[in-house]
Amino acid sequence: MLTITIDRSRCKKDGLCATVCPEGIFVQREKRTIPEVTDEEGCIACGHCLAICPHDAICHSEVLSTDIRAIQVEEMPTTEQLLSLLKTRRSIRTFRDKPLARETIERIIDGARFAPSGHNSQSTQYLVVQDRAVLNQVSSMVIEYLRFETRRFANPLFRTLAVLADRELAESGLREIPKFKRVTHLFESGADPILYGAPVLLAFHARRSVGYADVNAQLALQNASLVAHSLGIGHFYAGWVVSPCRAPMAGKWNRRIPSLIGIPPGNELHGALALGYPIPRFRKMIDRKPPQISWA
């Protein structure tokens, strides 16, 4: 059972815990009084109270004291340094034939786990695939899926049913068919247009029952991407791997790749990063289009 206590001898009655608690667990009835803990069951264990209290007056059963560390402000990157990291990140699809060290992969995942998540669920789980035979099977299975989509969109009856079900989605799928054919042709020619020979596939998955699990996973994936870039590890979002898992009107495909790589039956695959040492390294950055902004 989750418990939260306030050490009355340490508390300075500043009310900071009540100010920052997103769930209103802490309530300060009057200024300069010790806050009350009103609804422990509603706590999402975000740790705001522990992070804000300068006097270490709060004890939380879900957070170990060893998990709390002072922020070293001098170690924080400047805005320009952070923007430089963001602007120089590129999707890399050419890799050296060299495995990544376990410690490097763990460091990337360590950065991913600090991404925000809905209700602090920290729902994202990670699966590391390094077996070359399995990675090759993943690429082959994606190609099999693309062939399946090409065949069924060539069927007039299916196209009619798809349009009746969701015209916009059906038309979008139809526009993708030429790309599916190109990718399939590349694979049949001996290339790997799915994983590009990457030595690691990092899968982001979560229990099907968790709300916003897909959003949480994408946030974790972005964190992982930036940490990988900072370490000089090439990577790209392996969207083709995720596509069969979301195939509309093709439920039999949704579990094939998750089952192949070992994702539990109750979990869904929400994202994947292909990782490896890049060849060559990029020395220039290219600006992006201006942002589309509306002010309300």
User: Do both 159 and 255 map to the same domain?
Assistant: yes
User: pTM to 2 decimals?
Assistant: 0.92
> How far, in Å, are 37, 120, 272 from residue 144 at the CA level?
56, 38, 19
Please list, in sequence order, all residues whose beta carbon lies within 8 angstroms of the beta carbon of residue 82, skipping any fewer than 6 positions away.
none
- Whether 294 is in a domain gets the answer no
CATH code for the domain in which residue 27 is found: 3.30.70.20
User: Do both 55 and 82 map to the same domain?
Assistant: no
Of 38, 67, 96, the residue at which a domain comes to its end is 67
Please list, in sequence order, all residues whose beta carbon lies within 8 angstroms of the beta carbon of residue 24, skipping any fewer than 6 positions away.
38, 39, 42
pLDDT per position as a tens digit, 97-153 = 999 999 999 999 999 999 999 999 999 999 999 999 999 999 999 999 999 999 999
Strand-strand pairing, 267-276 and 26-27 = unpaired
- Whether 222 is in a domain gets the answer yes
User: Do both 47 and 129 map to the same domain?
Assistant: no
Residues 114-134: b if buried by 16+ CB within 10 A, e if exposed: ebebeebbbbbbbbbbeeeee
pLDDT of residue 251: 85
User: Do both 183 and 233 map to the same domain?
Assistant: yes
Of 29, 49, 67, the residue at which a domain comes to its end is 67
- Whether 150 is in a domain gets the answer yes
Residues 252-277: b if buried by 16+ CB within 10 A, e if exposed: ebbebbbeebebeeebbbbbbbbbbb
User: Do both 259 and 206 map to the same domain?
Assistant: yes
- Whether 167 is in a domain gets the answer yes
Read off the amino acid at residue 127. Answer: L
Q: Which domain holds residue 177?
A: 77-284
Q: How far apart are CA 11 and CA 9, in angstroms?
A: 6
- Whether 205 is in a domain gets the answer yes
**Into how many domains does the chain fold?**
2
Of 44, 67, 90, the residue at which a domain comes to its end is 67
- Whether 244 is in a domain gets the answer yes
User: Do both 236 and 156 map to the same domain?
Assistant: yes
pLDDT per position as a tens digit, 233-268 = 999 999 999 999 998 888 889 999 999 999 999 999
Q: How far apart are CA 15 and CA 82, in angstroms?
A: 33
User: Do both 28 and 87 map to the same domain?
Assistant: no
Query: Percent of the chain having pLDDT more than 90?
Result: 94
Please list, in sequence order, all residues whose beta carbon lies within 8 angstroms of the beta carbon of residue 69, skipping any fewer than 6 positions away.
none
User: Do both 59 and 193 map to the same domain?
Assistant: no
CATH code for the domain in which residue 264 is found: 3.40.109.10
pLDDT per position as a tens digit, 201-223 = 999 999 999 999 999 999 999 99
User: Do both 180 and 38 map to the same domain?
Assistant: no
pLDDT of residue 237: 98
* Region for residue 37 given its phi and psi (left: phi exceeds 0; alpha: psi -120 to 50; beta: otherwise): beta
- Whether 267 is in a domain gets the answer yes
pLDDT average, residue stretch 50-68: 94
- Whether 296 is in a domain gets the answer no
User: Do both 197 and 57 map to the same domain?
Assistant: no
> How far, in Å, are 132, 155, 199 from residue 141 at the CA level?
14, 22, 17
Would you say how long the chain is, in residues? 296
User: Do both 36 and 103 map to the same domain?
Assistant: no
User: Do both 235 and 217 map to the same domain?
Assistant: yes
